[in-house]
Structure 1
Amino acid sequence: DGNYEKAIECAKTYLLFFPHDEVMNQNLAYYTAVLGENLARPIQPREEIRVYHQQSLKEKELLFFSYDVFGIPFVDPDTWTPEEVIPKRLREKQKVERETAARISEEIGNLMKEIETLVEEKAKESADMSKFIREGGPLVYEGASVTMNSRALNGSQRVVVDGVLSAEECRALQRLTNAAASAGDGYRGKTSPHTPSETFYGVTVLKALKLGQEGKVPLHSAYLYYNVTEKVRHMMESYFRLEVPLHFSYSHLVCRTAIEDKQEGRSDNSHEVHVDNCILNAEALVCVKEPPAYTFRDYSAILYLNGDFEGGAFYFTELDAKTETAEVQPQCGRAVGFSSGSENPHGVKAVTKGQRCAIALWFTLDPRHSERERVQADDLVKMLFGMEEGDLEPEPEKESPAAIVVGKDEL
């Protein structure tokens, strides 16, 4: 019993300072129940502590009064002082001071975040510069030459290459598209997925090879389609000096055709400005790398088959999707290649007359995201032609790959 009496005494002493402490109140209730209410009620807090507590409160009342009336500062060293000891006017003043301190602390935190963001952006700029320094490797194919590099295109990880296809090869692939393509193929069956003023027709590599196997299109044209996509892949790997191979994420030969009676007063694009591996928020100047974006895409390329149409220029912009940084006019055998991230927002201007055909290619550095259709196409090529993947050997270049010709007429 003596132990419970002391326990009750200590608990009541503690509650002088922290009367709302939940755990200690539970302890006191337990000790009281064990000892009995009649025996527990007379037990008081320890006398010397009670006297100290009472004296301390009176001293604090005087000190806070002096602070409030005469402005003599007093900083209470204790956390247990009841609020009613502090004059109301002083309590309100201290509340304002605490709120001000909290706001300043928050502003400092936000400033630190801004500084961290700036540091990250500078680090990214350094990384982009590192990429720029690395690019410029050989194109590894005879006849292909760099027309514009990243500097000429006012960005990073960008290149325009001419001479990828001959005029006859361009015509063969364009005929293949018109013969084999299904309306809207690659756009979930929609014939006008991006604008009601144009129709879209497309064909994948695997579909073209299967149609060639069935004799519905020239097999050599389907094989040319397969080979030229491999050619562009090798060129991208070499030019950007990639340390690991690129894998096909998606390949699509697409023709966009202007609908004659839907061009008057037109103000839209053939394909609005976007980024290939993130969701562009042009107003916020950010690009969110999360699904449904194809976040695994690392490099992109477009190989043009013709230029005998009006409009349809490819162009790069800043993140605002408005400030144009470079424009590329399509023509037979011209390819534009670039990294797929937020550094390269791009779009396609309206095709207002004629038909614009191109092979769109997306690549990934992650073999886990390699296109399943491409694997099937590789197997079909092996069966039809007895070739292993990668047997398409680059032709030796006659001229130095470093030669870069930049002209305003090429924009």
Structure 2
Amino acid sequence: MLEDKKIDRDFSYYDDMILSDIYTQSVDAYLDDNWQKCIDGFEQVIKRYKKYRNAVIQCRKKCKKNVDKFTPIFIDNIDDFHFYEKKVRETLCLLKCNQDYRDIAGLNSLKRLPYEIEKKIMEFVPYEHLHICYYQKNQFQDAANAIFTYLTIHPKHEMSISNLRYYLTLPEVEEAKVKNLEIQKFVKYYMEGVKAYEDELYELAIENFEKSLIIYMDSENDCRIYCEGPFDQGWHPEFTSSVANHFAYCLKCKRSCSLWLNNINGDYQKDLLSSHYNYLQFAYYKLGDIKNTCQAVESYLLFYPADETMINNKMFYSKLPKVQKNLNFFRPREEAVYYVKRQEYELRLLKYISDEFSLIDAKLSTSKNKSDKKSINNEKKAVNHPPPGHSPSSRLVAATDKFLEKKKISRRQFEIEKRLNKTKIIARENELGGKSRYLAEGFLIDSECDSLVQLAKIAAVKGDGYEDNKSPHSKNELFEGLTLGRAALMVYFGLLEPKKLQLFLHSTETARGHVKKFFNLDQELFFTYTHLVCRSALTDLSERDEDVYSHDIHADNCLAIDDNTCLHESPAYTWRDYSAIIYLNDDFDGGEFVFSADPKAQNIQSIIKPKCGRMIGFTADEKNLHGVKGVVKGKRCALAIWFTLNEKYYETERKLAEIILERVMLKGPFKPIKNFKIPLNYEKLLFSRFKEDEILKLLINLS
């Protein structure tokens, strides 16, 4: 809500105007440089829209409640007439309720907003105008608040980001007072609950989390009720079809309510609701309230039945004397049961609607499908040797299910930001003897490095990713690698802990964020291939041969022929734009990374010694010829990552791995036959799982 101004202003001018006219006049004032009228108008739009929306919601809530236990005109429910009678009664109530509000607030107060204008209000477009108007009136703190609010929904809007940065340089703007003017009401209690929890004030934490839960549930319910608005069918369907269409339209709207609530200042927190129960279970335990502890545990497990930590907590609590005397303590809370059941029913229903109507559309488009098949067949003929991470099967899954559509902020963004804050650059271009390169530390801690090295020991395949060649770079070394697709399948079949795949994904995503930030990229940077690799000396060499390389000097996106020639053509991976390597250990001899001015390593520019958590980042072109010196003794492990600016070459196995991880966290792993092993060429198996596993199919459709 906008802050009250110190100077009282007369807004009676707007009393007899409908909301859409106020919006239109405010835009005109903005375009005419009438800054005060722009401010007054848009502030009225925001204020009046909230009143309008709340009036609609309260009216619908009242009418739903009034007909909840109605007595039907005829006692027998013939042809489902009770449902229709209920809706008729609800409609009569809505008409009367709306008229009562108009009698108080004016005849036009509940006139429906045009969709185009309401959409702009809901997307905070008024704040985009307001920040300019505030700025022109020297209200700089208000300007900063307005643009920050706009950014919570449009976090990648470059001009707004630049404007906020500028406002923060002004002496009149206090950074600590910059706030989201549309923050959800429950967030205040949630944040106070987190603070009290961290301060070990568990009674206060419980009080705040319980308040937050109530307001969250009420807010989502209000949002869902508001979704039950008009729907332009665009045609004249039969009675039954019109009811079904309108129902599906409202249901899709209701599904977005949790997205709206879980956007905290532009950061999407998928686990926000379930985290209430996570905090509550420990806070109640610290206060000795074991019954509420167990209920919170069981409530959390409704959201994530396979969560390893919470399962262990449940086992611990179940051994307490109080719990053993009262085995019925582990009962989930009613609001959690209702919420999760409703979510699952809606997801299944939407999937059913999507699947069944897609089949009908397919039958109506037979000729189109035939031509599509021809183009697919032609495409298959053109692809002989797919690059690592881009098998035909994984591409097909991604293409079929529209994986490459733009999404909201990743649920892992908060974790990535925390990791990025712990990193530091230790060498730049000058120290490394070239251009577009840098060295940083702090991407992983020792225990995480050990975990990833252990992952390689458990799951890496000899020569994996390089056509089964066990020594693709040097005859003196054994090369072992692990792709995300193979790691995901191992998690799926219960052969690997989910946390190891999670660490694999998180650490490499941190690298992507760091590379994008360092090179100040103003466009999206996509993963194109990720590889956990280890190189082991086949024999301990007593003396190093300086001319022996584990990986010869090369560029990552072109063929380095001589000092002045690097060919951007096949078989080079020409779409690779940036590269990064995160090192996992240093308990070996040799294996240094080198930058060279030429492909024959006659002019070495810099040498980098691997170390846990150290990362080298650079452009993938001829400016950064590089190689790896031979490993003399021991095993050298690292995460090798390549990035692209071309979305066409996005690493589809990463997306498949994320979906599999979500499936396992929700429902646990799929149990295979005894002595099951992931095949060397695993792509067909990965593809088949997304065709046969109903849960994966559901998740992939929702992603």
Shorter-chain TM-score: what band? 0.5 to 0.7
Matches within 5 A, 1:345-384: 345-384=625-664
Alignment match, 2:450? 171
Matches within 5 A, 1:150-161: 150-161=429-440
Query: Deviations along 1:143-202, whole A, 9 cap, x unmatched?
Result: 211011112111111111101000000000000001011111112111111111000111
2:466 matches 1:187 = yes
Alignment match, 2:615? 335
- The 8 Å contact of residues 314 and 330 in structure 1, kept in 2 or not, is answered as yes
The Cα shift of 1:374 comes to 2.1
Matched residues in 2 for 1:265 and 1:301: separation?
Answer: 26
- Which residue, 580, 583, 596 being the options, matches 1:317? 596
- Which residue, 580, 593, 597 being the options, matches 1:301? 580
Alignment match, 2:475? 196
Instruction: Give 3-state SS (helix, strand or coil) of 2:432's partner.
Output: coil
- The 8 Å contact of residues 254 and 359 in structure 1, kept in 2 or not, is answered as yes
- Which residue, 194, 205, 209 being the options, matches 2:484? 205
Instruction: Give 3-state SS (helix, strand or coil) of 2:517's partner.
Output: helix
The Cα shift of 1:385 comes to 4.3
Instruction: Give 3-state SS (helix, strand or coil) of 2:473's partner.
Output: coil
Matched residues in 2 for 1:150 and 1:140: separation?
Answer: 23
The Cα shift of 1:372 comes to 2.4
The Cα shift of 1:261 comes to 5.7
The Cα shift of 1:205 comes to 1.6
Query: Deviations along 1:205-231, whole A, 9 cap, x unmatched?
Result: 221122122222222112110111111
Could you tell which deviates more after superposition, 225-234 or 205-214?
205-214
- Which residue, 488, 495, 515 being the options, matches 1:216? 495
Matches within 5 A, 1:60-71: none
Instruction: Give 3-state SS (helix, strand or coil) of 1:379's partner.
Output: helix
Instruction: Give 3-state SS (helix, strand or coil) of 2:444's partner.
Output: coil
Matched residues in 1 for 2:506 and 2:490: separation?
Answer: 16
Task: Write the letter of the residue equivalent to 1:301.
Answer: A
Task: Write the letter of the residue equivalent to 1:274.
Answer: H
2:560 matches 1:280 = yes
Alignment match, 1:392? none
The Cα shift of 1:262 comes to 6.7
Task: Write the letter of the residue equivalent to 1:173.
Answer: L
Matches within 5 A, 1:73-112: none
Higher relative contact order (CA 8 A, sep 6+): 1
Matched residues in 2 for 1:189 and 1:264: separation?
Answer: 30
Return the structure number with greater strand share: 1
Instruction: Give 3-state SS (helix, strand or coil) of 1:260's partner.
Output: coil
Matched residues in 1 for 2:418 and 2:428: separation?
Answer: 13
Cα distance change on mapping 1:139 and 1:327 into 2, 3 Å: farther
Instruction: Give 3-state SS (helix, strand or coil) of 1:373's partner.
Output: helix
Matched residues in 1 for 2:623 and 2:649: separation?
Answer: 22
- The 8 Å contact of residues 439 and 614 in structure 2, kept in 1 or not, is answered as yes
Matched residues in 2 for 1:158 and 1:332: separation?
Answer: 19
Query: Deviations along 1:254-304, whole A, 9 cap, x unmatched?
Result: 01000116777754200000000000012x521011111111000000000
2:505 matches 1:226 = yes
Matched residues in 1 for 2:516 and 2:662: separation?
Answer: 23
Matched residues in 1 for 2:433 and 2:615: separation?
Answer: 17
Matched residues in 2 for 1:176 and 1:265: separation?
Answer: 29
Query: Deviations along 1:118-146, whole A, 9 cap, x unmatched?
Result: xxxxxxxxxxxxxxxxxxxx997122110
The Cα shift of 1:380 comes to 2.2
Alignment match, 1:270? 550
Matched residues in 1 for 2:544 and 2:556: separation?
Answer: 29
Matched residues in 2 for 1:256 and 1:139: separation?
Answer: 31
Task: Write the letter of the residue equivalent to 2:643.
Answer: F
The Cα shift of 1:376 comes to 1.6
Query: Deviations along 1:85-144, whole A, 9 cap, x unmatched?
Result: xxxxxxxxxxxxxxxxxxxxxxxxxxxxxxxxxxxxxxxxxxxxxxxxxxxxx9971221
Matched residues in 1 for 2:542 and 2:497: separation?
Answer: 34
2:526 matches 1:247 = yes
Larger radius of gyration: 1
Return the structure number with greater helix share: 2
| Percent identity of paired positions between Structure 1 and Structure 2 | 38
Cα distance change on mapping 1:263 and 1:269 into 2, 3 Å: farther
Instruction: Give 3-state SS (helix, strand or coil) of 1:160's partner.
Output: strand
Matched residues in 1 for 2:419 and 2:448: separation?
Answer: 19
Instruction: Give 3-state SS (helix, strand or coil) of 2:509's partner.
Output: helix
Report the number of matched residues: 250
Matched residues in 2 for 1:189 and 1:156: separation?
Answer: 35
- The 8 Å contact of residues 140 and 235 in structure 1, kept in 2 or not, is answered as no
Matched residues in 1 for 2:620 and 2:418: separation?
Answer: 20
Cα distance change on mapping 1:320 and 1:274 into 2, 3 Å: closer
Matched residues in 2 for 1:265 and 1:225: separation?
Answer: 32
Matched residues in 1 for 2:492 and 2:423: separation?
Answer: 30
Task: Write the letter of the residue equivalent to 2:455.
Answer: L
Instruction: Give 3-state SS (helix, strand or coil) of 2:458's partner.
Output: helix
Matches within 5 A, 1:122-161: 141-161=420-440
Could you tell which deviates more after superposition, 163-172 or 234-243?
234-243
Matched residues in 2 for 1:263 and 1:366: separation?
Answer: 46
Matched residues in 1 for 2:592 and 2:432: separation?
Answer: 14
Instruction: Give 3-state SS (helix, strand or coil) of 1:207's partner.
Output: helix
The Cα shift of 1:351 comes to 0.3
Task: Write the letter of the residue equivalent to 2:439.
Answer: V
List gaps (5 residues or longer) in structure 2: 1-416, 667-698
The Cα shift of 1:379 comes to 2.5
Matched residues in 2 for 1:273 and 1:254: separation?
Answer: 18
Cα distance change on mapping 1:151 and 1:173 into 2, 3 Å: same
- The 8 Å contact of residues 316 and 324 in structure 1, kept in 2 or not, is answered as yes
Normalised TM-score (structure 2) = 0.34
Instruction: Give 3-state SS (helix, strand or coil) of 1:251's partner.
Output: strand
- The 8 Å contact of residues 279 and 290 in structure 1, kept in 2 or not, is answered as yes
Alignment match, 2:537? 258
Cα distance change on mapping 1:323 and 1:265 into 2, 3 Å: closer
- The 8 Å contact of residues 300 and 340 in structure 1, kept in 2 or not, is answered as yes
Matched residues in 1 for 2:441 and 2:449: separation?
Answer: 13
